């Protein structure tokens, strides 16, 4: 019969706090934004793919009420064409849109001065909320970068990354209608606690539970978990959830107490590791062959055997049913 090991159980929830979508040639400019820092370091990245998005300057219209932009989304050898409208808040209709082949970059001028320029896909992603399905990113690979004391970050790693180069090469050969995009991330660690005061315990069990409570809270909340271990189990959780085709490790072996790279979770006897990945702020959803496209991905990974331990998120058991030991 399944037994609850402690009256106090803990989960480590990794909550996505900072995200940035860009392409490889933009990596050298990441530090200019001062978006990732010591408090929110970027050590985990996703290599993704989505259809090629181009701008059609011939469809551009500007008048006193609105600006109309034309776009094309490539699907194999065909293009889906559509337009989006943006209110014209300026005092003039004097706008010019410039885009040269291959039309993945644009320049918007107002009265002869450049007021906006960049990638066509990001322009559409910023304003084309009704076109969200075009922005879905297919996760191909998940990786991490961690140097001495965390010195090396994902943007640095990706500037010379053999797997990324391989994905680019294969995409050009097999999927010329697609573009490769990078998602840089930073996660915040949250300790979730469940205390069940209904079950009767012996004095020995009370002492055991108290020791466990102190060990976990002191380590996680006061001393802090080992940063490399946190990065390792966050990366492993992401890989296990999305099952990216270019990843090998962790796809079918996480969680596993034999893995030393996140052994601290087992040393502390943590119940569950979970993720909270919300990409609404990017106006795009993540997906893979194994994970449907969603704005929120919230997988959880129970670290123990169901025969030996109760999953703290199994509410049916926690609330008391016939499976719970009296």
β-pairing, 113-119 with 272-278?
A: unpaired
Extract the tokens encoding 70: 């034309």
Cβ–Cβ < 8 Å for 42, 17: no
Domain boundaries, the chain: 51-135
pTM of the model: 0.87
Owner of token pair 């219209």: 61
- Residue 243 phi/psi, 5-degree rounding, is 50, 55
Can you tell me the mean pLDDT for 159-174?
79
- Residue pLDDT, tens place only, 238-296: 999 999 999 998 998 999 999 999 999 999 999 999 999 999 988 899 999 999 999 99
β-partners of residue 78 are: 75
Which has the higher per-residue pLDDT, 192 or 126? 192
Is residue 22 classed as helix, strand or coil in its secondary structure?
A: strand
Measured distance CA(47)–CA(44) in Å, rounded? 10
Is residue 279 classed as helix, strand or coil in its secondary structure?
A: coil
Count, in order, helices (H) and strands (E) of the chain: 7, 14
- Residue pLDDT, tens place only, 68-85: 999 999 888 889 999 999
- Nearest C-alpha neighbor of 217 from the set 6, 37, 18: 6
């Amino acid at each position: 019969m399944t037994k609850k090991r402690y009256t106090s159980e803990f989960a480590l929830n990794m909550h996505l706090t900072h995200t940035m979508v860009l392409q490889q040639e933009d990596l050298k400019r990441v530090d200019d934004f001062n978006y990732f820092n010591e408090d929110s370091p970027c050590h985990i990245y996703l290599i993704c793919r989505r259809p090629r998005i181009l701008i059609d300057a011939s469809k551009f219209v500007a008048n006193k009420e609105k600006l109309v932009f034309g776009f094309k989304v490539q699907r194999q050898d065909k293009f889906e064409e559509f337009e989006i409208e943006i209110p014209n808040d300026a005092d003039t209709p004097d706008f010019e849109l410039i885009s040269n082949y291959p039309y993945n970059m644009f320049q918007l001028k107002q009265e002869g001065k450049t007021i906006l320029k960049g990638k066509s896909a990001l322009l559409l992603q910023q304003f084309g909320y009704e076109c969200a399905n075009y922005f879905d990113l297919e996760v191909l690979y998940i990786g991490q970068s961690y140097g001495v004391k965390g010195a090396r970050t994902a943007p640095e790693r990706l500037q010379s990354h053999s797997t990324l180069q391989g994905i680019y090469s294969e995409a050009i050969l097999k999927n010329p209608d697609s573009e490769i995009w990078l998602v840089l991330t930073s996660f915040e660690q949250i300790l979730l606690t469940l205390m069940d005061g209904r079950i009767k315990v012996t004095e020995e069990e009370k002492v055991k539970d108290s020791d466990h409570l102190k060990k976990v809270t002191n380590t996680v909340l006061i001393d802090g978990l080992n940063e490399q271990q946190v990065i390792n189990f966050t990366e492993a959780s992401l890989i296990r959830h999305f099952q990216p085709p270019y990843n090998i490790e962790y796809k079918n072996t996480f969680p596993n107490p034999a893995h030393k790279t996140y052994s601290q979770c087992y040393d502390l006897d943590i119940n569950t590791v979970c993720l909270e990945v919300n990409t609404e702020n990017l106006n795009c959803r993540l997906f893979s062959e194994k994970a449907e496209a969603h704005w929120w991905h919230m997988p959880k990974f129970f670290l123990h055997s169901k025969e030996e331990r109760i999953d703290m998120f199994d509410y049916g058991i926690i609330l008391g049913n016939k499976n719970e030991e009296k």
